[in-house]
Structure 1
Amino acid sequence: MIIRKKIPFLAFFLSLLMFVSMITVPERASAEDALDINADAAILVEASTGKVLYAKNEDTALGIASMSKMMTEYLMFEAIKDKKISWEQEQTISDYVHQVSIDTNLSNVPLEAGKKYTIRQLYEAMAIYSANGATIAIAEAIAGSEKKFVDLMNKKAEELGLENYKFVNSTGLNNKDLKGKHPEGTKPEDENIMSARSMAKLASRLMNDYPEVLETTSIPEKEFPGKPGKMVNWNWMLPSLDFSYEGVDGLKTGTTDFAGYCFTGTAKRDGLRVITVVMNAKGKNGQGDYKSRFNESKKMMDYAFTNFSVKEIYPKGYQVKNNKTIPVISGKEKSVSIQSESPLKVVVKNGEEKMYKPRVKIDKKKLNKEGKLTAPIKKGEKVGVLEAAYEGEDPYGFLSKSKTASVNMVTGEKVEKANWFVLMMRGIGGFFGDVWDSSVKTVKGWF
């Protein structure tokens, strides 16, 4: 009787064990659960290297709302650099821009039809107060119409290597909010979409190519001529605002019914700059609100600044053991030294400094069939790359999926081509050397 009672229990236990063993847990689940980011998508990136420190659903295209204005800003800075427009250039407000700008249900500064405003004034209204009418006015100043500007946005996104995106207007509003004048070729229900990864890429390029953007995005409030007068930055994580966070100086919020509450943020502390993106952020109750996007961004920023730092692990001129030289053919010297062109910096998690190993990759196109460089060779000529090979588990990689932590490996000195006499003597020496080696082998064969 006792045995019969135990057998069903044992069978049940073994069945349960087999069922549990069949359950597969995604590799990144534990990391995501540790941060507990309440958003449809999110990404955390170290800005200088593009190293992704955390990601959730990062390659799915979702609504981006007014974060779209970062692309408008990029094209505006580019147009100013190319002298197509200027900061003090005045733009006359069209009826379309006026109608959008007086809609109090949208983020706006009222703009009078027929009145002129400078590009600088319109830009500050866009970057600080997310003014939609001002954004369209900038688009018209650059391209003549919002339709043509949207074409530029999509073209530039492709040039920047973004993926999983679509721009249908310059502001990020739902097209139905554009007073029936949404760009030709788009539908009333359309809205801009992009993945969190591409959003972070756009933010990175904007800051790297036009770092002056942070001079404006870091302004907590500013006066605008006319009504409403004072513009308070929608980025409430700026120091002195409601969700003040040390080091935050940008970049752009976004909110629509379709996209939810979104935010692309950036902050810098102790030489470490991070970029964060949250899309459709929510609170613990599952509902989105203004503070949820900042709370979720804060989680990622805290995680980065507490656990990571940028460190130089190999200095400029670094040589890797067993990879210090490359053989040379037809040169005055038979080899040339190779070294790192610049310091190699990586984002290191606390306690993992020794988990990186140097790895040299020589460009095979530079070598002949025998694996040698051909003289003449210039000093500082690139011959490959030095990589920092991480020996731990890295579930996230880099912002650009193909990238690794690396710097160029270059030649340490020049190698001139040897003259004909030297090459001839080497040939003769090589010939007799081969004869001698052959003779030695033959003699050894006798014994």
Structure 2
Amino acid sequence: MKKLIFVIVIIVLSITVVMNNKETTFEKADLSVQAKAIILLDADTGKVMYEENSTEALPIASMSKLMTEYLVLNAIKSGTLSWESTYEPSAYIQQIKGLSAAVKLGMTPGHSYTVDELFTAMTVHSANDAAMALAEMISGTEEAFVELMNKQAKSFGLKETTFYNASGLDGDYIGKGREETNLASAQDVSIIARKLIAKHPEVLDFTKLTSFKTGNGTTLWSTNLMLEGMPQAFPGIDGLKTGYTDLAGSCFAGTGVFEGRRIISVVMAVESERGDTTTPRFELTKELIERFVLN
């Protein structure tokens, strides 16, 4: 009898463990804008509020810069870099200057640029050359920095993330094969975003900026149109990172505080029948927050 009771207890415990470990599934919502992958979560608790196909590895474009930001801020906190550290563009960076597909700060040979300017250009305007320059400052070469990115991804426990560059440009944009394009799942991107905000909340001081002036006086605008004062402003949004390439399509890792809770959303390969590659990702983000956070 005791043996039978023991067996029953073991079975019940096993079923409980399986149920507790089972991922929460969501009935697919009838959203006005569609995407290949979506995740919406509470940044403080990690509770997922909605998701669609959030574990598939997909191209992530400039959302890659979230990891670059994390590592740059690590270097600043450790004293390896300072905000006043300066950089003169390498021959590699000068080649990027002529790449029409890349958003750029547009560095001039012989001129120096501070980490502060490079980080702001990367974070606010999504400048790819600034991301590459910061990678060189930390690791000597972008290739060595990519090793650091992948090592950090592994330490985060990310299973669907692979980095090939610091900026997020598709491989064929920069003279490499399409197979050398940064990949991650929406879930993995949300983890990077959550880790970044938790360890380096000062990043929000940059991501909430609608524009900034470069050292030569040029005004560069944020790519996040949901910020206060921007065309698709949504109260509460203060970040985080847009992305667009041919392979990734339109992407956005958004964050903001709503009803006292910091929320993180990731939308990838957002579809639009209008041929608009910019606004639908923000429309979808707004709909997700209104429907699953503010309802």
TM-score, scaled relative to structure 1:
0.59
Distance in 1 between residues matched to 2:264 and 2:68, nearest whole Å: 19
What residue in structure 1 maps to residue 164 of structure 2?
168
What residue in structure 1 maps to residue 125 of structure 2?
129
- Residue 303 of structure 1: which of 288, 291, 294 is its match? 291
CA contact (8 A) 1:238 1:248 kept: yes
Give the alignment's Cα RMSD to 1 decimal. 1.7
CA contact (8 A) 1:101 1:132 kept: no
- Confirm whether residue 144 of structure 1 aligns to residue 144 of structure 2: no
**Counterpart secondary structure, 1:115:** coil
Amino acid at match of 1:174: D
Distance in 2 between residues matched to 1:270 and 1:28, nearest whole Å: 25
- The offset of 1:288, in angstroms, is 5.5
- The offset of 1:140, in angstroms, is 0.1
**Greater mean alpha carbon deviation, residues 87-96 or residues 252-261:** 87-96
- Residue 94 of structure 2: which of 88, 93, 98 is its match? 98
- Structure with higher Rg: it is 1
**Contiguous gaps of at least 5 residues in structure 2:** 1-23
- Confirm whether residue 205 of structure 1 aligns to residue 195 of structure 2: yes
CA contact (8 A) 2:163 2:181 kept: yes
Distance in 1 between residues matched to 2:70 and 2:173, nearest whole Å: 24
What residue in structure 1 maps to residue 3 of structure 2?
none
- The offset of 1:36, in angstroms, is 5.3
- Confirm whether residue 293 of structure 1 aligns to residue 276 of structure 2: no
- The offset of 1:148, in angstroms, is 0.1
- Confirm whether residue 238 of structure 1 aligns to residue 247 of structure 2: no
TM-score, scaled relative to structure 2:
0.88
Distance in 2 between residues matched to 1:102 and 1:120, nearest whole Å: 23
Amino acid at match of 1:299: E
Pair 1:102–1:111, CA change in 2 (3 A): farther
- Residue 118 of structure 1: which of 114, 119, 123 is its match? 114
- The offset of 1:282, in angstroms, is 1.2
- Residue 177 of structure 1: which of 173, 190, 197 is its match? 173
Alignment deviations for residues 106-141 of structure 1 (CA, whole Å, 9 cap, x no partner): 211110123211111100000010001111000000
Distance in 1 between residues matched to 2:190 and 2:33, nearest whole Å: 17
Alignment: residue pair count: 272
CA contact (8 A) 2:38 2:186 kept: yes
**Counterpart secondary structure, 1:33:** coil
- Confirm whether residue 257 of structure 1 aligns to residue 253 of structure 2: no
CA contact (8 A) 2:242 2:253 kept: yes
Amino acid at match of 1:264: A
- Residue 206 of structure 2: which of 207, 216, 226 is its match? 216
Alignment deviations for residues 134-174 of structure 1 (CA, whole Å, 9 cap, x no partner): 11000000000000000000000011121201100110001
Alignment deviations for residues 28-79 of structure 1 (CA, whole Å, 9 cap, x no partner): 56x3224455000000001110000000000000010000000000000011
Distance in 2 between residues matched to 1:101 and 1:299, nearest whole Å: 37
Which residues of 2 match residues 153-164 of structure 1 at below 5 A?
Answer: 153-164=149-160
- The offset of 1:231, in angstroms, is 0.7
Q: Looking at both structures, which has the greater relative contact order when contacts are Cα pairs under 8 Å and sequence separation is at least 6? A: 2
CA contact (8 A) 1:102 1:111 kept: no
